[in-house]
Amino acid sequence: MSVDKVKRSEQKTLQIPWAAVVWLIISAFVFVIGGYVVTLRDVERFPGDFELSTEPTDSENTVKADIVAGTFEYNVVPELSNSVETGTFDETTDNPVAANLFENIPDITQVTIEPQTITITYDNDVEPDMYIRRAQRPVINAVLNDGATITSRVASDAEKTLVFMTSDDEWRYGSYVPALIPEGQQEVYETREAGENGSEMAQFIFERINSLQALTINRDSLIVTYREGAVENQVISRLQEALNEFHPRASLQPDLWVFTIAASSERIMDIIPINTGIPLFLYTLVLAGIEFAAFFSLRNSDDKLIRPLLRVVAVFLFFWSIYGHEPLWDFTLGLIFPSSTQLVHPNATVIEFTAQHLELVFVSSLITIPAGLLFGIIVTRDEFRELLPLVNNLVNSGQTVPTIAIVAFMAPIIGFGFWPAIIALVAYGLLPVVRNTIAGLEAVDPFIIDSARGMGLTPSQILFQIELPIASSVIMAGIRTSMIINVGTATLGAFVGSGGLGTPIASGLAMTVDSFILLGAIPAALLAILIDYVLGRIEFVLTPRGLQIEN
């Protein structure tokens, strides 16, 4: 056996399925992290909902407070489902849904609830399209109906009026079966000193209520003893506030999220995130198994398609799932801003902002890429080569003018919302696609083209079978650059109401909330890296085998 054959045999023997090993490590890490239960700190995004009902006891200055509603568990579906009372309500209402909307949506003057519609009237100068985005999340949070069944529109027959509709038979709201501590347990603190050194919840309650002398915590009730001279109603009111401030608990274990794409009359496409409920560590374990199977079944074949595309989907869904786990963002931002009580944006979740951001990037790319390819191909044809300076000047002007200036210029002309941002993204993203298309096509060796002509190929056959495949890696580099630029540039669309990850950034700058700025900036940066990786793998698959260079 020759030396080369021995070396090749040794190389095959020493091969290790590194992708499977990496997924196993990630799975173990996600599993360990998922074992931690943390307290959610954002009081606006994760509001409390405890309600108390009192009854007297035989002891003096002692009262029993039964928990009528409330939970510490985040994202648990309420166990009790109730029909929402219909009617027209103002801010003094005790209707649970209407009261929730008045509390969480600014400047509301009236809420009208009908079996399948909720009509909100407001009083400010915010554009209706922007205001309906502000109200969307509070409405979804206020009712028990699935968010996928809820649609919204601006009322056509009344000013400053929004209409939310459900495809369900009626609106419903949920109430939880209370559970302060595990069933069968009881915490008894006979003195204030004992309570101040007790459980985390007991310490929190004693810290908030100065008049509290003793406390007994049951699963669904509390027995409180207060000092002489304290007002019972004030003690109970502060007790309820303390429970609501003692934020919900949530596991750091994310679930697997996927998405669907639906047609939209306003935004061309709607990307709808879906929580599968499958723990993410199980998903990564399955991926490790698939990688092991692919390694052993394809190790003797020169596979350049299945595994790269499999990894593209796997990596994208992994990060997509991280975007969907709101407690993880609350926990991360809480570490960075330990004194802040406002961490995650109240209007929408990170994954919803990311979906809006992807809509901007994808729709603009659907215009930019074909247009850039067309311009690049046309000006490299002999009969249109005189147009090359004009096209270069045209696409150069798109990046010469600041993007925010294009957005600001287009908004008064075509209105606020989605399309001003799209026009700015298209103008800004054309240059890399056009430049790289021209560079790639002009770099094709003229002798190859002459040989193709000599073989009898038509100009279109030469273009699609010779020039474009050879130039594909250069063209894909331009497409990657364009899309990555657009990920960052799309954040500016928030200033004209287009949504996306620029919304928390803009809110943070306007309200001086630093956590909001990072809530948009960190996911946007991760998204740019993720899209670059995905497009890099697609570029590898599309590049002809003879032009592929592997390290």
Domains of the chain: 3-34+254-324 (no CATH), 51-75+178-246 (3.30.1370.70), 80-175 (3.30.70), 345-547 (1.10.3720.10)
Q: Which two tokens stand for residue 399?
A: 């990046």
Q: Which residue has the tokens 């054309």?
A: 430
Check residue 335 and give its pLDDT: 92
Q: How many CB atoms lie within 10 A of CB 137?
A: 19
Q: For the chain, which ranges sit under pLDDT 50?
A: 1, 6-7, 9-10, 550-551
Contact status, residue 304 vs residue 540, Cβ threshold 8 Å: yes
Alpha carbon distances (Å) from 265 to 135, 205, 274, 419, 527: 20, 51, 21, 12, 26
* Spatial distance between the Cα atoms of 118 and 88, rounded to a whole number of angstroms: 10
* Spatial distance between the Cα atoms of 355 and 107, rounded to a whole number of angstroms: 28
Check residue 550 and give its pLDDT: 47
Contact status, residue 27 vs residue 288, Cβ threshold 8 Å: yes
Vertex 43 angle, CA 38 and 44, to 5°: 130
In 3-state terms, what secondary structure has residue 526? Answer: helix
Interacting residues of 211 by C-beta distance below 8 A, sequence separation 6+? 226, 227, 230, 235
Strand locations in 219-312 (E): 221-226, 249-251, 255-264, 268-279
Helices 468-489 and 418-442: crossing angle in degrees, nearest 10, is 150
* Spatial distance between the Cα atoms of 13 and 26, rounded to a whole number of angstroms: 26
Instruction: State pLDDT tens for residues 488-545.
Output: 888 888 888 788 899 999 989 888 889 999 999 999 999 999 999 988 888 887 776 6
Contact status, residue 288 vs residue 316, Cβ threshold 8 Å: no
Amino acid identity of 274?
I
* Spatial distance between the Cα atoms of 427 and 286, rounded to a whole number of angstroms: 42
Q: Which residue has the tokens 């957005």?
A: 407
Q: Which residues pair with 63 in a beta bridge?
A: 56, 224
